[in-house]
Structure 1
Amino acid sequence: MKLALYFKADLENVTNLAPTADKEWHFKIECSSCHEVDDNWISFNSEELHDVTGSRGQANLVMKCKFCKREATAQFETSAKMTPISESGQFQKLATFDVRGLELVKFSPRESWTVKGLESNTVFDDVDLTEGEWAEYDEEAGEPVGISNFEVEFRKIK
């Protein structure tokens, strides 16, 4: 199954919110077999590949459900490039995943984001959304910049 992660946030004087290339993505995961949701945040990134048991394939995440022991995988869709978030307050597709044996049910944005000043094009490359918002001052533009009120949703893609 393919799942798209949609992201919405209020952008104040910034644009092009995007994850860094080596970002660790943190999710709550539900097993598709037993429907249990793991209490722990599970993280993976688009750079690492792991072998899938009994297959020649690889995935960014290969894990066994701690409840029913079934193997599940998640893979970043490389054909669906990550699109920087540029529209304030509107859902936009951020990333697409091919998931098997699991569903991504919650996303924690945490650290490793970049954003660009709307007026100055100043790049802020260490944006941390762990607390749900980020604020800074753009010296070149002489104005405050920030990100707040983020929301995410997952949509199944056919």
Structure 2
Amino acid sequence: MGKIALQIKAALENVEELKTIHPDYAFMLKLKCTGCGEVSDKWHDIVESQTFPGKTGRSENNYIAKCKMCGRENSLDIVKGSNASYRDYDQGKFKSIVVFECRGIEPTEFTPGESWIVKVKESSRVFDNIDLSEKEWVEYDEKIQQPVEISDMEFRFTNVK
């Protein structure tokens, strides 16, 4: 069992805070079975507010799947309290925004999709349900009379203790 953090890095213009709609955000991941090395070609959505019973029925997991190649049952959970915002002072460096507890699988790819929230710097404006599928987003804030932008998004996974 290991813990793996999803980290993001982005350029922000007039953005104070970027975050997901925790706990209902669907983290879209491609996963690899650590038993046989099979990597799924499909995207899997992992949502903290959704749980499924394990094969013993005693544990609840955010994601459970049987590997198509080796038949092993694998599971993944979002570590409670691990969701974090990406803030203006994090700009240009990688920061963990969520941690996954992995049993038999590990994430290999992430796509940001919809349901992000942006808080504008020096304004009370909040944009919600932002779509970052293209890994960039631009809007205009009338109050500060400036563009609000997210660009140059990068993602990586890192092992954590």
Aligned-residue Cα RMSD (Å) equals 1.0
Structure 2: runs of 5 or more not aligned: none
Match of 2:102 in 1: 99
Runs (4+) of structure 1 moved beyond 6 Å?
none
Match of 1:59 in 2: 61
Give the TM-score of the pair, scaled to structure 1. 0.95
Match of 1:37 in 2: 39
User: What amino acid is the match of 2:151?
Assistant: S
User: What amino acid is the match of 1:5?
Assistant: L
Structure 1: runs of 5 or more not aligned: none
- Alpha-carbon shift at residue 79 of structure 1 (Å): 3.7
Match of 1:9 in 2: 10
Distance, in Å, in 2 between the alignment partners of 1:151 and 1:113 is 15
Match of 1:136 in 2: 139
- Alpha-carbon shift at residue 49 of structure 1 (Å): 0.6
Match of 1:126 in 2: 129
Identity %: 38
User: What amino acid is the match of 1:77?
Assistant: V
Match of 1:148 in 2: 151
Distance, in Å, in 2 between the alignment partners of 1:37 and 1:148 is 28
Give the TM-score of the pair, scaled to structure 2. 0.94
- Alpha-carbon shift at residue 23 of structure 1 (Å): 1.1
Give the secondary structure class of the aligned counterpart of 1:96. strand
Distance, in Å, in 2 between the alignment partners of 1:71 and 1:133 is 36
Number of aligned residue pairs: give it.
157
